[in-house]
Structure 1
């Protein structure tokens, strides 16, 4: 290297290495074998595994994802439902359509408009 020139970049061997670790929930699930020379599965091990799976299943059932609400302003909901704002407000007051207030604005749940339309269908 010529005199006075600086080397660009990092020195070799000084890069950080990524460290991967197991989440704490998974670390408790793993079980050590009964004996290092015994690879057989016992009934107790199976029962413990079933109990752990049932616990995880109960926890996951409580975490079911909720469907996001489709909210629209009164003007947008009127266009969507093909009705005037007076009729829409009337249906909100009779609880046929669900609406929410946010920052002084009325937001209409479009799923409730769909439900209302499905209830009012007359068979042919």
Structure 2
């Protein structure tokens, strides 16, 4: 084999592999790597979630709403997690944050969670203007 000076000093890849195999044999270990059998995705079963009807969904959200005593007016508040509040109000998270910033709906922090007051969502819906029809 003819090569450059660098090839002689470093050795070719096949020479390095041969030296490693010889070293491993003398040490009593093998250089073969065993691979674990791949896990099949067929083994895990995924069942689709059934979404409840709109009326049933609203009942579920209201049932999960925690009640909390309001310090200002001593009435109970229906608080739900942010995602459930958006689902109840039928708006997305961007719109929810916008309504909270403009103080159209009330939100509270409980630890790291944002809780939405369902009564304020109902008040927001009641304040929306009606659509006027053209038929007269």
TM bracket (short chain): 0.3 to 0.5
Higher relative contact order at CA 8 Å, sep ≥6: structure 1 or structure 2?
1
Please report the TM-score for the alignment, with normalisation by the length of structure 1. 0.45
The structure where strand makes up a greater share of residues is: 2
Please report the TM-score for the alignment, with normalisation by the length of structure 2. 0.41
Q: Which structure would you say has the larger Rg? A: 2
